[in-house]
Amino acid sequence: MAAATHLMYNPPAIMDSIPDQSSVLSMPEIRSAQLLEAPEIASTFTLVTGEAGLERTLNHPRVQKSGLVFAGHLHGIVPTRVQVIGETESSFLATLSPEARLAGLRGLVSLEPSLLVLTRGIEPFDDLVAVCEESGTPLATTKERSSQAINRLHSALDWLLAPRRTIHGVLLDVHGVGLLLIGPSAVGKSECALFLLERGHRLVADDRVELVRLPGDVIEGSSPALLRNHLELRGIGIVNVRDLFGAAAVRERKNVNLVIELCQFDELENYDRLGLEDRSVELLGASIPSLRIPIRPGRNMAVILEVAARNHLLKIQGRHAAQRFVKRLEEELMGESVGGDGEAEAIGLPTSESHAPAGALSLEEGKGERGDVGGKDFGEGEG
């Protein structure tokens, strides 16, 4: 084995060549109109005035709610954040004289905020409507309480302002695990997807996968609208998976839990055969577990990818088969037993009885009906 090590080499993996994510993670901007057009916002928010300012930009996923601005304290107000006016702020404005109220409102709109939101179904002051119309500041109202409206705005802004990128690959839902298959063109990604669809799994995207980073380092993948539900198969063409396999065979989006790089089998490459090293790849700045799996004729890739998904679920539960195997092997080599006979038997290790001197048990005593050793049956799923 040592003599052949000079023949082994590890070519650079595609995942290792993913470009630096710093440029991708720059905070994007959206127009106020885009936020108000989002389905979850459009259903509960109504634009009162300020259509001229709907092109103003928002670049922060969190809103701002500062009543001090109406007292003339403008420090810390960020115009590119949604400014929420709730019941507390409205009640304070109601206590002011018309001149003081108008001065406070003019001070706020002088910063050219991208969007003002009045919550709890409060009827906007005439002065507020007038200064917003005069300055072209968008003003929207909602019947929801401030806390509900803020949560809704945060959810919409998290999605609209999330970092995004599009990559070449296939995304599937296999046993609840989001598998992102990547690799060179024509390596067989779409064919693997077809094999998995036949086995009851679900397609999310083929060829182009749109990735978005959500709070909590969650990477969500989906398909461009034009390609959704479609799969390209060389020699056949483009097929509609939904029509062929039914509605249950597709889904609109899925979190990416495991990245699998498919590559052509190379006898000179030293592939991972133990699985002790947990590899990962960065997508949009988030670390995602990854595997590199070779493809060669005769390999049942559907079963292999299913096992990869199942093994990933076990690792999440703390059951790392490779690490447990090596630990048991080391204990065997060191002649040690961990946790006594009860624990050793529970995990399949030899007990003190199995280490008894030769001849301590007769042949009949040590043999069961199906060749079980030491009275323990290994014939029906207990190995």
Q: Which sequence positions are flagged as catalytic?
A: 168, 189, 207, 273
C-alpha distances (whole Å) from 245 to each of 21, 223, 227 are: 37, 18, 17
CA–CA gap between residue 346 and residue 225 (Å, rounded): 51
Burial of 75 (0-12, 13-18, 19+ CB in 10 A): exposed
End-to-end CA distance of the chain: 30
Paired sense of beta strands 57-58 and 164-174, if any: unpaired
| Residue 117: strand pairing partners | 84, 140
- Amino acid code (one letter) for 156: A
For residue 357, how many C-alpha atoms fall within 13 Å in the half-sphere facing its CB?
Answer: 1
Q: Which strands make up the sheet holding 202-214, listed edge to edge?
A: 253-255, 218-222, 202-214, 164-174, 177-182, 258-264, 286-295, 279-283
Q: Which positions ≥6 away from 164 have C-beta within 8 Å?
A: 24, 28, 210, 211, 212, 213, 284
Taking a C-beta distance cutoff of 8 angstroms, is the pair 289, 278 a contact?
Answer: yes
